[in-house]
Amino acid sequence: MAALAAAMSDPSRMKILCALMDGKAWTATELSAVADIAASTTSSHLSRLLKSNLVICLSQGRHRYFRLYNSSVAELLEKMMGMTFPVSRASRAKVPKELRKARTCYDHLAGEIAVKLYDSLVKNHWIESDGKKLTIQGQEKLLQLGVHLNAKTRRKACCPCLDWSERKFHVGGYLGASLLSFFENNHWIERVSGYREVMITSKGKKELDKHFFSHQ
């Protein structure tokens, strides 16, 4: 644990890890820009993060891309963000409104919309009250909607993930990832390139209200 904490203790490395929380793969050049450090320094930081199994490197031709090692690393980072985000109106006001509204938490949705979605799934009995299991009714409803779930996945089918800005749960696990993919593929949301911010489209607002929020 001490070795892991040491690998994460540098501010520039934390900037890199937080940038990778959008769930996508970044080049070293892109990470250098977001961390506001020299390319040579970025290389050194990435080497440290690779050695600590916090990120992985993907090679495609002559290009190398970096992303978080797995969802467990993302969950750890999200919890750390929650611990370092004081519960006060002043600190909340410092977070951009768009980021509080909707953002990615690695491979699932976070923010006000995601918390509202979690509450809806619990209230409508699509997931169990503790957020750790999808109900039979939920499976049927999601299948009707077009959200296909792999019963053989090794990941947790679904789990509550504490949202650092809302201090309430949003949906994580395989269900959270499947919903994010479904929303994006059906143009309910649009990602803001290079950022965790997510925009809810006009179609998305209508569909979310129709299928999830109208019964609350």
3-state secondary structure 73-96: HHHHHHHHHHHCCCCCHHHHHHCC
CA dihedral (147, 148, 153, 157) positive or negative: positive
Encode pLDDT of 20-62 as tens digits.
988 888 899 989 988 889 988 999 999 999 999 999 999 888 8
- For 97, counting Cβ atoms within 10 Å of its Cβ (0-12 exposed, 13-18 middle, 19+ buried), the class is exposed
- Report how far residue 86's alpha carbon sits from residue 171's, in angstroms, rounded to the nearest whole number: 22
Encode pLDDT of 62-120 as tens digits.
889 999 998 889 888 888 887 776 655 555 556 678 788 999 888 899 999 999 999 99
CATH numbers and ranges of domains, the chain: 2-69 (1.10.10.10), 75-213 (no CATH)
